[in-house]
Structure 1
Amino acid sequence: MAFPPQHTSAGDIEKAPLPPAHLGEDKPTTTLQEDIAAYGLEKVYARHGRFVETLLLPPTSPSDDPHDPYNWSSWIKHVLLVQVAFHAMMGPFSAAAVIPSFETFVEDFGVSITQASYLVSVPIVFLGFFPLLWAPISNRIGRRPVLLISALFSAAMHFAGAYCHSYGTLMVTRVFQAIFLAPPQSLGANMVNEMFFQHEKGQKLGIWTLLTSLGPPVAPLIMGPVVWNTGKWQWTFYLLAIINLVQFILYIFLAPETAGFVRPNRGTPEADAAAVSPKPKTPWWKLYFSFKRTSPAPWSQVPIETVRPFTMGLHLTVLLPAIAYSIAFAYTNVLLTVEIPALLGRKYGLNPQQIGLQFVGAVIGAILGEIVAGTGSDWWMIWRTKRAGGNREPEMRLPFGLPGFILGAVGILIFGVQLQNTAAGHWNVTPIIGVAIAVFGTQIVTTVCYAYAIESVPKAIQYRVSPFIAFVRQLYAFTAPFYLNIPFEEWGYAKAAGLLCALTGGVGFLLVFLCLIFGRKWRHVDPQA
C-alpha cells in the first residue's frame, strides 16, 4: 500500500514496520484512501489534506478532535509560536540589556568595569539552570500558567531593578529576573513538538532558536540609544518591564494550552470508533480561561525530574551536538556581544549609541542564517528521505549543519584580522561584516543541532533535551567572558581570533561529524531513559 514518510521520532522510526513496497512486493494491496477509511481518518486527512504525503497512519496520526493542538488553525499555532520564541529571546535579551550601561554603573555604584560585567554573566547561569526546574512544573500544571507567571513576575522584577540604589540590590533583582525569564528556554521546543508535525519541526524550531540567538545582539542595539538619549540606565528596566506586561496580556488572549492532550491509539475497531465518535463541543473561552492539571504526576517527583535532563549527557547524540553548539554560540554570539563594546568602542572611540549600532551585523546574520537553516534543513531532510525510499534517519540532517561551523570560524577570523588592520579612531565596517558571517553560520548550527538532538532520542524523553542543551550552552557562555579578553589583550586581535576560529571550525565541526559517522550506532546502544 502507499505509505507516507514518517513524522515520528527516531525511536518510533526504528520500531515502525517497513511498508510492503520495501519488502519487494510488486504492487500495493490496498490504496491510501482505503487505509484512511479503515482507520476512520477521513476527517483528519481532509483537514490536513495538503500534508497527506507526509502524515503517518495510526497510531501516530492526529485525532479527530478540533482541540487537538495538531488540528489548530495555522494562525493560532504561529501566533503562539512567535510569542513563546519572543519570550525565549527575552532571557538573553535581559541579560545583555545592561551592557551599554556599564560605565554608568561604575560611576553610580563605585564598582569596577569587571564587576559591572557580572550583571550580565551571573543571570546567564540562572538562565541555564532554572529551565530544568520549570520543565517538570509545566508538565503538571501546563505550559500556559507557567508562561503567565513568567511574564508577570519578570515584569515585577524589572520594575524593581529600576528602583535599586546599590550594586548588591541590583544584582539580587537580576537573579530573579533570570529565574522568571527561564521557562521558555525549555518550553519552546516542547511546545513545537506538541503543535507541529515532524516535517515542519526544523523550520518551527528555527524560529524559536532564531529569536533566542537574537537576544544578545538586539539588546545593546536597542538599549544603547535608549541609555544615550535618556541619560539614565533605569530606562533599560522600565522598557523590559513594559515588554513583559504586554506579553502577559497577549498570553491571556492568544495562548491556549498545548500540553496534556491525549491522542487516541488507532489500530483496533474499538479505538478507531472512540477516536471518531462525536464529542461535546468545548466553549472557546475554556481554552483560555480555565486551568487544570495536565498530568497526575506527584509533586514529590519534581526534584528528581529537575535533575533528570542531565541523563541526556549519557546520550552521545545529544551531548556532542550540545557541546558543539555551545562552542559556536560562545565564540560568536557571546564573544561579539561582550567584546564589541570593549574592542570596537575603544579602538574607534564610539559612544553607547554608536556601540549599539555595531550589532546590526549580528542581527542581519542571524535572520539570514535562520531563513536558510529552518526551511532549508527541512527541505534537505525531505529530499534525503525520498532518496532513501522513505526511511528517515536523524543523521541525514547533520551534513546541512557542518558548513555552519566553517562560516562561523571564517567570520570570527575576519572580525579579528580586520579589527587589527583598520586604523584607530576611524570606524570601518569590515569587522561587522565578519560578525554577520559568524552569526549566520552559528544560526545554521543552532537549528540543526537542536533538531538532531531531539530527533535522536525516543519520543518519551525528548522533553529533556531542550533544558539540557540550554544548561550546557549557558554554562559554557557564563565562563567565556572571564577569559575571552585575555588572548585579545596579550596576543592581539588577529591571533586571538585565530584561536577561536580553530575551536569553532575544528572542535565544533569534529563533534558533529562524529555524530554523522557513528550516530546511528550510538542510538542503538543508548540508554532508553
Structure 2
Amino acid sequence: MSSVHEPEKDTVTETVPAKAFDGDADVQEVSPGASYRDLEKRDSNLKTTKDGIVLIPQPTDDPDEPLNWPFWKKHAALIVLAFGSFFVKFTATILASASNILAHQFHTTPRKATYIASSASIVPAVAPFVWIPLSRKFGRRPVLLAGTTLAIVFSITVATSDTYGQAVATRVMMALSDSAAICIGPAAISDMFFQHEKGSRMGINTFLLVCAPYIGGIAGGAVAFNTHLGWRWSMYISAILLGLQLVCQFLFVPETIFNRKEARAAAENPKPTFAYSLGFKKPTATKNDSWLYTYLRPFAMFAYPAVFFPALWFSIAQMTEVANTAGFALNFGEPSRYHFNARQIGFCSFSGLIGAVCGELVAGPVCDFVAKRHLKKGGDWKPEQILPVAATGLVLTSAGLLLYGLELNYPTGWAATLTGIGIFTAGQEILLTVLMTYTCDCYPDKAPEVSIVFQCCINIMAYCPPFYVPQWIAGPAGAKVPYIVFALLPIVTAPIGWLLFMWKGEKVRAKGPWFTL
C-alpha cells in the first residue's frame, strides 16, 4: 500500500472566509476538471497541502465535516468499512470449498451443491436499491449497523439448516443483509478523503473486496476438512467475525453524510468528541424528498455513460470470478485429475490472494501519484488522467484467463493452472481500483449511486457463469473455448468501456445523462 499522510498536518492554515459558511450560501467547490489557476484568480484563499496540492473538494471550516476529521479517525473508519466489503465476499465463498461435503450432507450432486455459495452472488446486484435509499433517509451509520446485525442472524440460520432449500434461502438472505456494507463503503470513503488521497484509499477497499473470495476459500476449506468443526462451523465463524465487525462499526464509523450548506465556521462549532461520533444524525439534505424520488434516484445513474459503460466493461472483464472460485471444487477436487481434499481445494485460493496483493501494489499508489503530480503543478485536473493505468489491468486480466483455460485443457500441473488465477486477479484489482476511482471522481456528489451501478453490473454479470461454465468445460471442446472467449471479451469491448473515455471522456461527462427519469 502507498504511504498515507495526515491531512490536518498537510493542509495550509489559510481558510475560506467565514461568510462562506453562514448556512445560506453554497461552499466553494473545486470540481473535477477545474483549473487551479482559474480558481486562484477567483479566490486566493484556496486550501492546499504543504506541497502545494490543491484540496479537491475544498473543505469547510466545520470540524464535523468528514474531510476535516483527524487522520486516525478517517483511517479507522476506512479500515472498518473496507472489512465490511471484505466480509460480503468472504462469507459467500467460505462454503465453496466444501461443495463435495455439502453434496453428501444434502443428498445432491457436487455441481448442485456449489449453488449454495454461488446462488447468492446475484443479491449484491439488487441490494443497493434497498440500502442506498434507506441510507439517504436515515444515514449511512444506522443502515450499516442494521445490515450487519441481520447478517449475523442469518449466518447462524444457515449453520443450522437441515435441508438444501433452507440452506440456499438463508444464504440469500444473509447476502442481502451484509451487502449493506458493500453499498455504503465506497460512498463513505468518498466523503472522507480528498482527490489526491482517494486512489489508494479506494484501493484498500477494492483490495479487500477482490481478495475476500480467495481468503474465504482458504478458510472454508480448512474448517470443512477439520473433523471437529465441519462446514457448519464456517457459518458460525462468519457470525462471530460479523459480530466483531458490528462492534467496530459502532465504535469507529461515524455518520459521513454531511450537509455543506449547513456548515459553520470552526469558531462557532466545537471539535466533535468521541462520544458525539457514536450518536446518530439523520441527514437533513433529503428530509423533504419523497420516498418515490429517493428510490428512483439510484436508477438515474444508469443514464450517465461515464459511469455505466466503465462499470459494464469491468463486469465483463471479471464475470468469471464466481465461476472460478466455485469451480475449484470441481476442477481440483475428488472428481478431477488432482483429487484434492477440502483443505487442499481451499489452498487453491492462495493464488487469487497473491494476485490481489500484487495488483494493489500498482493500482492505488499509481492513481495517487498521477493525481498528486497534476495537482501540484496547478494544471487542469481531469479524472481521465488516471485511465491509462487500466491498460496494465486489461492485459493481466485477459492473459490470466487464457492461461487458466489452456492449463485446464492441456494440464502441465496445478501450479501453472493456478498461476492463471493469480494473474487474472491482479488485473481485476487494478481495473476495479482505477475505474471505481474514475467514476466517483466524475460525479463526486453522486458516489453512492455510482457504487450502485458498479455493484449491479458486476453481480449480474457474475451470477450466470457458475451455472453454465462447468457444463461448457465438460463439453467436447474442454475448457479452452470458454476461457478464450472470456479472455477476448474485455479486449473487444474496451473501446466502449475504456478507450472512449480516454479520448472523449471530458465531453461525455459534460453532457451528463443521456436521459432523465
**Structure 2 residue corresponding to 1:481, chosen from 434, 446, 466:** 466
CA displacement at 1:462 relative to structure 2: 3.2
Which position in structure 2 is the counterpart of 1:340? 328
Q: Judging changes above 3 Å, is the alpha-carbon distance between structure 1 residues 364 and 299 closer, same or farther for their aligned structure 2 residues?
A: farther
Which position in structure 2 is the counterpart of 1:244? 242
Q: Partner letter of residue 243 of structure 1?
A: L
Which position in structure 2 is the counterpart of 1:463? 448
Please list every run of 5 or more consecutive structure 2 residues that lacks an aligned counterpart in the other structure: 1-11, 15-26
Mapping of 1:322-333 within 5 angstroms? 322-331=311-320, 333=321
Q: Judging changes above 3 Å, is the alpha-carbon distance between structure 1 residues 354 and 167 closer, same or farther for their aligned structure 2 residues?
A: same
Which position in structure 1 is the counterpart of 2:483? 497
Q: Judging changes above 3 Å, is the alpha-carbon distance between structure 1 residues 68 and 521 closer, same or farther for their aligned structure 2 residues?
A: closer
Which position in structure 1 is the counterpart of 2:216? 219
Which position in structure 2 is the counterpart of 1:524? 510
CA displacement at 1:80 relative to structure 2: 1.0
Please list every run of 5 or more consecutive structure 1 residues that lacks an aligned counterpart in the other structure: 23-27, 40-44, 266-273
Which position in structure 2 is the counterpart of 1:53? 53
Q: Judging changes above 3 Å, is the alpha-carbon distance between structure 1 residues 229 and 313 closer, same or farther for their aligned structure 2 residues?
A: same
Mapping of 1:2-21 within 5 angstroms? 12-14=31-33, 16=34, 19=37
Which position in structure 1 is the counterpart of 2:366? 376
Q: Partner letter of residue 451 of structure 1?
A: T
Which position in structure 1 is the counterpart of 2:201? 204
Which position in structure 1 is the counterpart of 2:401? 412
Q: Partner letter of residue 187 of structure 2?
A: N
Measure the CA separation in 2 of the matches of 1:135 and 1:517: 32
Q: Number of matched residues? A: 487
Measure the CA separation in 2 of the matches of 1:125 and 1:236: 21
Q: Normalising by structure 1, what TM-score?
A: 0.85
Measure the CA separation in 2 of the matches of 1:101 and 1:428: 19
**Structure 2 residue corresponding to 1:284, chosen from 271, 274, 282:** 274
Which position in structure 2 is the counterpart of 1:313? 302
Q: Deviations over 1:76-95 (max 9, x none)?
A: 21111111111111112222
SS in 1 for 2:59: coil
In the alignment, does 2:353 pair up with 1:363? yes
CA displacement at 1:357 relative to structure 2: 0.5
Q: Deviations over 1:198-218 (max 9, x none)?
A: 111111111111111112211
Measure the CA separation in 2 of the matches of 1:120 and 1:509: 34
Which one is further off, 148-157 or 517-526? 517-526
Please say if residues 49 and 55 of structure 2, whose CA atoms lie closer than 8 Å, have aligned partners that are also in contact. no
Measure the CA separation in 2 of the matches of 1:9 and 1:504: 40
Which position in structure 2 is the counterpart of 1:270? none
CA displacement at 1:135 relative to structure 2: 0.9
Q: Judging changes above 3 Å, is the alpha-carbon distance between structure 1 residues 300 and 455 closer, same or farther for their aligned structure 2 residues?
A: closer
Please say if residues 397 and 452 of structure 1, whose CA atoms lie closer than 8 Å, have aligned partners that are also in contact. yes
**Structure 1 residue corresponding to 2:410, chosen from 398, 416, 421:** 421
Measure the CA separation in 2 of the matches of 1:293 and 1:234: 39
In the alignment, does 2:495 pair up with 1:514? no
Measure the CA separation in 2 of the matches of 1:110 and 1:282: 57
Measure the CA separation in 2 of the matches of 1:13 and 1:371: 25
In the alignment, does 2:251 pair up with 1:260? no
In the alignment, does 2:159 pair up with 1:162? yes
Please say if residues 64 and 271 of structure 2, whose CA atoms lie closer than 8 Å, have aligned partners that are also in contact. no
Measure the CA separation in 1 of the matches of 2:32 and 2:96: 46
Q: Deviations over 1:205-233 (max 9, x none)?
A: 11111111112211111110110013621
In the alignment, does 2:341 pair up with 1:351? yes
Which one is further off, 464-473 or 478-487? 478-487
In the alignment, does 2:139 pair up with 1:149? no
SS in 2 for 1:19: helix
Q: Partner letter of residue 389 of structure 2?
A: F
Q: Judging changes above 3 Å, is the alpha-carbon distance between structure 1 residues 122 and 258 closer, same or farther for their aligned structure 2 residues?
A: same
| RMSD over equivalenced CA pairs, Å | 2.9
User: If you compute each CA radius of gyration, which structure gives the higher value, 1 or 2?
Assistant: 1
Identical residues among aligned pairs (%): 27
Which position in structure 2 is the counterpart of 1:431? 417
Measure the CA separation in 2 of the matches of 1:202 and 1:281: 28
Please say if residues 52 and 376 of structure 2, whose CA atoms lie closer than 8 Å, have aligned partners that are also in contact. no
Please say if residues 126 and 456 of structure 2, whose CA atoms lie closer than 8 Å, have aligned partners that are also in contact. yes
Q: Deviations over 1:434-481 (max 9, x none)?
A: 211111111111111111112223x43332110111011111111121
SS in 1 for 2:474: helix
Q: Deviations over 1:162-184 (max 9, x none)?
A: 11111222222112201111112
Measure the CA separation in 1 of the matches of 2:508 and 2:248: 43
